[in-house]
Structure 1
């Protein structure tokens, strides 16, 4: 598979993944649905992250356990700063996990032909951050309540 380079011209939203099999994300977000930061791998994508850009939280894991897919939406809060050597980088976020009834299941998104080519489906094991194109983010927003994402714009 080819790794498509992300450009600001076609960036709809960043996509941050969390593995709910590795960490009890359901319990964590039930206690506090706000996400103020998440680990990202340093590289050119992190250097493209800017305050105000949309970000989507994708919960992954064994398909039978929980309704995996888009669990939250928000914005990049600030440009990620380099971490000390040997430490993980963190993307500052202003993101809220949606109530369970508003989360968009992976199977629903995969069935949408506008989202079928999303990187999270093509390369599910790729490191954070992943991304959605402008068209893919617009398609995703059609599955979310309007108040959850505000105006569709990468800012």
Structure 2
């Protein structure tokens, strides 16, 4: 895991990932684009999460089936809920997956000089949650629909 620690002073948005190679995210979100919760790994980051904080959904692992990158944006809807001992926690969300033409592709984000340094590129296998700094989230917003 990256040695950089997330602080609330420089948190732009949380970033949660879903692996499109393990789950058919395209079909799942075609049926219902709303995301009410997602699994996160317990740790200091989970303890920083608060209702109202921005959150970004990143689809990964699907170079062949579907273009991956930022698929949705929303907010943390409540405090993370502990799971079984040693297991993942559940993060309540108010997040909607964007229609396919509005999703921001990984290649575009990787080419952005601010976003190229995002943790999701430096540590792609890291557990949820990841994060974007204030500057990175501001840069991302330039690619998103109003």
Quote the residue 1:52 is aligned against: 52
Structure 1 length normalisation: TM-score?
A: 0.91
How far off its partner does 1:82 sit? 1.8
TM superposition shift of 1:81: 2.3
Number of residue pairs matched by the alignment: 146
Distance 2:83 2:124 in 1: 25
The 5 Å alignment of 1:94-109 reads 94-109=94-109
Q: Which residue of 2 aligns with 1:141?
A: 141
Alpha-carbon separation, structure 1, partners of 2:125 and 2:2: 14
1:8 paired to 2:27: no
1:7-60 Cα deviation digits (max 9, x unpaired): 000000000000000000000000000000000000000000000000000000
Shift of 1:2: 4.4
What value does the CA root-mean-square deviation take over the aligned residues?
Answer: 1.2
Cα drift, residue 64 of structure 1: 2.8
Q: Who is 1:18 aligned against?
A: 18
Structure 2 unmatched ranges of 5 or more: none
1:45-89 superposed Cα distances (whole Å, 9 cap, x missing partner): 000000000000000013232110000000000010222325421
TM-score normalised by structure 2 residue count: 0.96
| Unaligned residue ranges in structure 1 (runs of 5+) | 147-155
2:27 partner SS: helix
Runs of 4+ more than 4 Å apart: none
TM alignment of 1:117-132, pairs within 5 A? 117-132=117-132
